[in-house]
Every structure is written in structure tokens, then in C-alpha cells.
């Protein structure tokens, strides 16, 4: 089963002014895409041992004041793939970011999990409904990690809807397998992306898809989603510190217009923050 934490399954922390927030209609809205690396910051001299400081993550999110926040690697994998039922980082984020409603999900527990980040979250200043999660199978590619041969775990797509500017917005968040970290000859096969595109085709109205797509050759990714009717807000600026790759994207369909975007370096992760401002197209 999937582990799923929404606003209703954690201690109630919805905004006190929720009804007024819903009634206040904005003409534009801002989206923040961020792989937070479970709160581990960045150290140029020793990035793999940089300290975990969730306070930096919280400050980075607050500074953007986005209407929608898409987060990947919210938690750190525990020994043998264990996942605490109450996700500690997400629980702290919800407590600190009280202006947001939230939806969090793990992928299924798997003893093969490597000790990195796990868990997706959607935060929204307006209430979320219609939550979904869908598994994205990984191929049985054998690779070696710390001298042990293993195969990759599956990945996850989550989604929810909200009302912004008097219009319904469907939101998706994902974190795909980094094939380029395994074997070059298996670089970015399209299987997981095709499942996502199938989900997008079934969605109605205005749709956003954000996430860490873990693609070294990002132009092929952009072309594939463009053919499905989705544009990325940017494909020129690097979004990852470890290699010069554009891993992070915010895709949107024809019911939305991207007004501006920014890639902003931060010491709160090995990923940069990607933001974009949108308006609905009548």
C-alpha cells in the first residue's frame, strides 16, 4: 500500500482564515518547484555530508510566498526502506507553514531503497481535493551501490485539485528514476513518462505538472511533453548543483499562460528553486 498523509489525516492545521482565502480571487498565481533533499543543505567542499537543517527549507519556502509548492525528497529513507507512519519532516513543514493545506505520499516500502530522499508533497494556500497517487514502475536494471548489486525501486506520481482565481486547477507532482546514475545505455527510457502523459490526457481543464524528472538529456523530455500539449516554463538554466543538468520542470497546458519564471540558487538543497507565475486563459 501507499503511505498517504493529507490535511485530514494529520492533526488539523488548516488556515484559520481558510474561507476568506478561498473567497479572495487572484488573477495570477505563483508555483514553486523544489527538490528539498530531506532538508540537507549544500556545502561546496563536502556536499554529501552537508548538515540537515529543515529550518533553511522552511525559510526558503516562506521567502517565495508561492500559492502552490511542489516538493520532492521530503523525507530521508530509513534503514531497509522503512518509513515512519508520521513523516517527521512533512509534519514539521505543516506546523511551520500554517498558511498552506497539504497532501503528502510515500511510495510503497521497499527494502531496496537507497539512503537518499523519498516522499512527495503538494502544498496549497487554497484547499486541496481529488487527491490521487499512481505508481511508476522502474525496469529491473541491475546496478551496484556500495559494492552491492541491486535494482531500482518504483517511483510515484501524485495529484490534487484546487480553486484559484475562481478556476479549478489540477496539480501533479512527480520524481522519476535517475537512469543516468545507473548505466549510460539505459539513459532515460520513456516508460515512466508515458504513464504520466496518460494521466495528463485524462485530466480536464487547466493542468500543472511539476517535479524532478531526473533527465540528463532534457530536450528529449521537453519534446515528448510538448507533443502531449504541455510546455515547460524553462529549459535553459541548470537546476542541479552536482551536474550541469536541467532536472526540475514545471509543465503546463494550453489553459494556462506562463507570465514569468526564475531559477534561484539556494543553500537549502543540492537543487535550485524553480518558480513560475501563471494566469488562466479564458
Name the residue ranges covered by the structural domains of the chain: 4-12+28-280
pLDDT at 13: 43
Question: Does the pLDDT of residue 25 top 60, yes or no?
Answer: no
pLDDT at 22: 44
Question: Does the pLDDT of residue 10 top 80, yes or no?
Answer: no
Question: Does the pLDDT of residue 240 top 70, yes or no?
Answer: yes
pLDDT tens digits, 212-236: 999 999 999 999 999 999 999 999 9
Q: Which residues pair with 121 in a beta bridge?
A: 71, 104
Q: How confident is the model at residue 5 (pLDDT cuts 50, 70, 90)?
A: low
Span 33-50, average pLDDT: 96
- Compute the mean pLDDT over every residue in the chain, rounded to the nearest whole number: 89
**Single pTM value for the model:** 0.90
Q: How confident is the model at residue 20 (pLDDT cuts 50, 70, 90)?
A: very low
Question: Does the pLDDT of residue 82 top 80, yes or no?
Answer: no
Burial call 9-39: b when 16+ CB within 10 Å, e when fewer: ebeebbbeeeeebbeeeeeebbbbbbbbbbb
pLDDT at 4: 56
H helix or E strand, kind and range, residue 227:
helix 218-227
pLDDT at 190: 64
Q: How confident is the model at residue 189 (pLDDT cuts 50, 70, 90)?
A: low
pLDDT at 83: 81
pLDDT at 131: 98
Q: Which residues pair with 171 in a beta bridge?
A: 160, 208
Question: Does the pLDDT of residue 268 top 80, yes or no?
Answer: yes
Burial class (CB in 10 A: 0-12, 13-18, 19+), 184: exposed
Q: Which three cell numbers stand for residue 64?
A: 517565495
Span 74-93, average pLDDT: 88
- The rounded Cα 252 to chain-centroid distance in angstroms is 14
Minimum mean pLDDT range among 74-83, 185-194, 267-276:
185-194
pLDDT tens digits, 107-128: 988 889 888 999 999 999 999 9
Q: Which CATH class is domain 4-12+28-280?
A: alpha beta
pLDDT at 11: 42
Please state whether beta strands 206-212 and 167-175 pair in parallel, antiparallel, or not at all (unpaired): parallel
Amino acid at each position: 500500500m501507499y503511505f498517504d498523509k493529507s490535511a485530514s489525516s494529520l492533526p488539523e492545521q488548516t488556515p484559520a482564515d481558510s474561507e476568506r482565502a478561498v473567497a479572495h480571487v487572484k488573477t495570477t498565481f505563483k508555483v514553486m518547484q523544489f527538490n528539498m533533499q530531506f532538508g540537507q543543505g549544500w556545502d561546496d567542499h563536502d556536499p554529501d555530508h552537508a548538515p540537515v537543517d529543515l529550518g533553511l527549507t522552511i525559510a526558503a519556502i516562506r521567502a517565495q510566498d508561492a500559492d502552490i509548492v511542489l516538493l520532492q525528497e521530503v523525507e530521508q529513507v530509513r534503514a531497509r526502506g522503512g518509513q515512519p507512519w508520521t513523516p517527521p519532516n512533512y509534519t514539521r513543514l505543516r506546523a511551520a507553514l500554517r498558511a498552506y493545506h497539504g497532501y503528502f505520499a510515500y511510495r510503497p516500502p521497499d527494502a531496496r531503497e537507497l539512503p537518499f530522499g523519498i516522499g512527495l508533497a503538494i502544498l496549497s494556500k487554497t484547499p486541496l481535493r481529488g487527491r490521487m497517487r499512481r505508481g511508476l514502475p522502474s525496469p529491473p536494471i541491475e546496478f551496484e551501490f556500495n559494492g552491492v548489486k541491486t535494482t531500482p525501486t518504483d517511483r510515484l506520481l501524485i495529484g490534487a485539485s484546487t480553486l484559484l482565481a475562481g478556476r479549478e486547477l489540477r496539480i501533479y507532482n512527480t520524481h522519476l528514476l535517475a537512469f543516468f546514475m545507473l548505466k549510460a545505455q539505459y539513459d532515460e527510457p520513456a516508460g515512466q513518462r508515458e504513464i504520466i502523459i496518460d494521466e495528463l490526457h485524462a485530466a480536464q481543464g487547466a493542468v500543472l505538472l511539476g517535479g524532478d524528472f531526473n533527465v540528463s538529456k532534457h530536450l528529449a523530455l521537453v519534446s515528448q511533453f510538448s507533443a502531449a500539449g504541455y510546455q515547460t516554463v524553462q529549459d535553459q538554466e541548470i537546476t542541479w548543483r552536482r551536474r550541469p543538468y536541467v532536472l526540475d520542470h514545471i509543465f503546463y497546458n494550453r489553459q494556462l499562460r506562463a507570465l514569468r519564471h526564475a531559477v534561484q540558487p539556494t543553500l537549502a538543497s543540492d537543487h535550485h528553486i524553480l518558480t513560475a507565475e501563471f494566469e488562466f486563459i479564458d
